[in-house]
Each structure stands twice: as C-alpha cells, then as structure tokens.
Structure 1
Amino acid sequence: MSKKPFAVLLLSCLAVLSFNVSAAETSQPAASVTEQVQQVSGLINLNTADAATLEAELVGIGQVKAQAIVDHRNSNGPFASVDELLEVKGIGPATLEKNRAKLSVN
C-alpha cells in the first residue's frame, strides 16, 4: 500500500482544520448600529440606546434604572432633551449631571 494517498489525505485534513481555527479566532460579533454610532459620536442617544448599553455606559445607572429609561421612552415617546431624563423615576439631578456630557437625543 502506498503512503502517498494517506499523506495527501492527512495534509488536506490539517489544512482544513487550520483554516477553521484561524477563522474562529478572527471572527468577532458585529456591533449593532447603535453601538457603531455611539463609537463614532462618543454619545449615547437616549432615544435609541437599549437598557444594556445604558447600564454599561452611564454612571450610577444599573439594570433597574436603565430599564426604567427604556420603559419611559416606550410609554411617553422619544426624549426631546437630555433634561427630560429627570422625569424617569429614580433619576435625579446628580445622576443627570454625572452623565450629561455622554448623552444626546439625536
């Protein structure tokens, strides 16, 4: 029996395995459109950000307050100004001022 076909088969398998490992290492989940816009502008849009983004990016905003912001937006429509964040239960002037520079409504 010739060793050449076995060597070719083994080499082919190793090449495919190498390609799959390389592709797995370089692939990263695509950022959402909201995250991409935020990265470009550096601002978090109160009218488009999800609760996870609000929680991760804002000072003093945990899961409950982040969800309250989203719920307020869903119930009352989009924020017309950053100052309207004060209408959300649990958000006070100190929290707003800590985050004002990071926020937008556009």
Structure 2
Amino acid sequence: MLKKLILAIVMLAATMGSAFAQVDVNKADQASLDSVKGIGPKMSKTILDERKKGGDFKDWADFESRVKGVREKKAIKLSEAGLMVNGRPRGKASDADKEDRKSGSGAKSKKEMKKNDSKG
C-alpha cells in the first residue's frame, strides 16, 4: 500500500514537472512547441516557418510582430505556459514598450525604414 502511494506521488510530480517545462522558441522542434499550452500544430508550424524564413527571434517584440495571431495578451499566456524567447519569459508590457509602439519604433518600422532606404 505504501509503495503504491509513493509511486503515485512520484508519477504526479513527474507529470507536473513536464507540464511546466520551459521551451525556447528558437531551439524547439514542432513537438516541443506543441507541448506548450496554447500552441497547436498550426501555430507551431507558423512559428517554425517564420524562424526558418527570418532567422531566430531576437526578443518577444520580434516574436509578436512576426507570428500571426500572437499579440501581447497571447504572448503573456504563452510565456506563463513555459514559452521563452532567447531564454527569457515575457513580462508584462513596460512603459518603454508602450512608448515604442506609440512612436512606431518597433521591428516593423525598422523593416519599413530599410525598405525606404533601398528605394534610394
């Protein structure tokens, strides 16, 4: 009886540990991404395609701007479920982040600036 109880506790602890495993979006394969609550096969494929196309994600802002369907609220939930970008969880938006969005100095505007520079 005692052995069964100990075994049950060990099994419970093992499953809880895997439920909160940290997954780095730049290193994960599709199965690892799928294991994060809130990411299904479609989103994991989108993430992998975007990573292949544009390289590793620099930070959470880069991840949010490049992955369709992921914005601030979704990113926070994914981070709470164990997703990380470059080994960092996503925090709540800081005042500086909000100012960057208002002024348009995010990753998207940098791309636009490069595009405009190349036009001459």
TM range (shorter): 0.5 to 0.7
Q: Does 1:62 align with 2:43?
A: no
- Opposite residue 28 of structure 2, the aligned amino acid is A
Q: Does 1:74 align with 2:52?
A: yes
Q: Highest Rg: 1 or 2?
A: 1
Residue 104 of structure 1 is matched in structure 2 by 85
Q: Does 1:93 align with 2:72?
A: yes
Residue 4 of structure 1 is matched in structure 2 by none
- Opposite residue 79 of structure 1, the aligned amino acid is F
Residue 35 of structure 1 is matched in structure 2 by none
| Structure 1 spans left out of the alignment, 5+ residues | 1-38
How far residue 84 of structure 1 moved from its aligned partner, in angstroms, is 1.9
For the aligned residue pairs, the C-alpha RMSD in angstroms reads: 1.8
Give the number of equivalent residue pairs. 65
Alignment of 1:1-106 (within 5 A): 42-57=21-36, 59-86=37-64, 87-101=66-80, 102=82, 103-106=84-87
How far residue 51 of structure 1 moved from its aligned partner, in angstroms, is 1.4
Q: Which runs of 4+ in 1 moved over 6 A?
A: none
Aligned to 2:48, what secondary structure does the other structure show? Answer: helix
Contact 1:80 1:105 in 2 (8 A): yes
| Structure 2 spans left out of the alignment, 5+ residues | 1-17, 88-120
